[in-house]
Amino acid sequence: MSYTYTFWFAMAGLLFGHGLAGAGVGAIVGFVLDNLRFSQRRSATPEAGGYVGPLFALLGAIAKSDGRVSEAEIAIAERVMARMGLDAGARQQAISSFNAGKQPEFDVTGPINALRQWVGLRRDHAFPVLDVVIETVLAEGNPPPEKMAILRQLAFALRISDMELMALMAMKGYVWQGAAGARGHGPGNGGGYVPPQRNTMGPDPYAVLGIPRTADDRAIKRAYRKLISEHHPDRLGDLPEEMRKRAEARASEINAAYERIKAERGFK
């Protein structure tokens, strides 16, 4: 828990409230506000584990949305379970939820609403959730409209814009024809998946930051600061370890993209 308000209200009380008495009153007020903020943060995201059922149900629904569940999609689900270090009970829950999501006429609204509730107001938690889902969406290469529709529905529920979604998918190798951020280009039209190749410079750094190549230096710096603040590991709090690692990887990719742009443009 942070005591930022406690400190600053105490200082204000000391300066403007006639000494130690004012500092004491200010500290009490600040302490109450710090506790309120801490409680709000805790309530914004339920305890770790609450995401397992809805996440894997959604992965199952995405895998089945084009009519069949591929071995690649099953392998991704297994890999995610392993990386999350799920115990026997949580693993069984994940398998059952994945199988439930594969059923005909499964309604994705339920798990999407559950994930929205789990994420709460923490946008820094929304991005790792989307990262896991994107991995399944791109499991077989260029995704069909059915999979993209579910992904965009989830992104909308988590308050992630199409531009931000495009940046996340660019990190996975999904690219759009034309300049990044150009009008008419986005996660539903004109895009394609390019499998990662050796000896490449990686994804388009401008797409990673979610900005067009025509952006000026100030816009680039502003986009970078916004993204890195949302992905920085120090802000992740009680995020599960597997999703924390994903967020840390995204932060590294954002930093790498920004460094490439700085080197190309020659600014600091």
Distance CA 236, CA 254 (A): 16
* 47 — pLDDT class (breaks 50, 70, 90): very low
User: Which is more confident, 141 or 234?
Assistant: 141
DSSP assignment letter at 186:
B
Helices (H), 45-108: 52-64, 71-84, 88-101
Task: Please give the backbone phi and psi of residue 175, each rounded to the nearest 5 degrees, phi first.
Answer: -125, 160
Query: Of 31-35, 44-48, 129-133, 161-165, which range is least confident?
Result: 44-48
Tell me what pLDDT residue 259 has: 87
pLDDT at 152: 92
Report the alpha-carbon angle 130-135-140, nearest 5. 140
CA dist 9 and 153 (Å) reads 43
pLDDT tens-digit map of 9-45 = 556 656 666 666 666 666 676 666 656 655 544 444 4
200 burial (CB, 10 Å; 0-12 / 13-18 / 19+) is exposed
- For residue 175, what is the enclosing H or E element? strand 174-176
Report how far residue 244's alpha carbon sits from residue 234's, in angstroms, rounded to the nearest whole number.
10
Closest CA to 81 of 100, 62, 97: 97
Confidence tier at 182 by pLDDT (50, 70, 90): very low
Half-sphere exposure of 35 (CA within 13 A, CB side): 6
Q: Within its chain, how far is the Cα of 91 from the centroid?
A: 22
CA atoms of 258 and 14, how far apart (whole Å): 43
Angle made by CA atoms 175, 132, 198, in degrees to the nearest 5: 45
DSSP letter for 6, please.
H
Domain residue ranges of the chain, discontinuous segments joined by +: 4-44, 52-265
The residue with tokens 């996660």 is 187
Q: Which residue has the tokens 């190798």?
A: 173
Q: What is the mean pLDDT of residues 186-191?
A: 52
Looking at residue 119, its pLDDT comes to 83
Claim: this prediction has a pTM higher than 0.75: no
Rounded CA-CA distance 263/260 in Å is 5
What SS3 state is found at 214?
coil
Predicted confidence (pLDDT) at residue 243 exceeds the cutoff of 70: no
Within 13 A of 84's CA, how many CA atoms are on the CB side?
24
How far, rounded to the nearest angstrom, does the alpha carbon of residue 178 sit from its chain's CA centroid? 25
**How far apart (Å, rounded) are the C-alpha atoms in residues 172 and 188?**
16
Give the pLDDT confidence score for residue 45 in this predicted structure: 42
Q: Are 115 and 54 in contact (CB under 8 A)?
A: yes
> For 81-121, how does the pLDDT look when each residue is reduced to its tens digit (9 = 90+)?
887 778 888 889 999 999 999 998 899 999 999 999 888 87
CA 67 centroid distance within chain:
27
Q: Which of 12-16, 36-40, 63-67, 241-245 has the lowest mean pLDDT?
A: 36-40
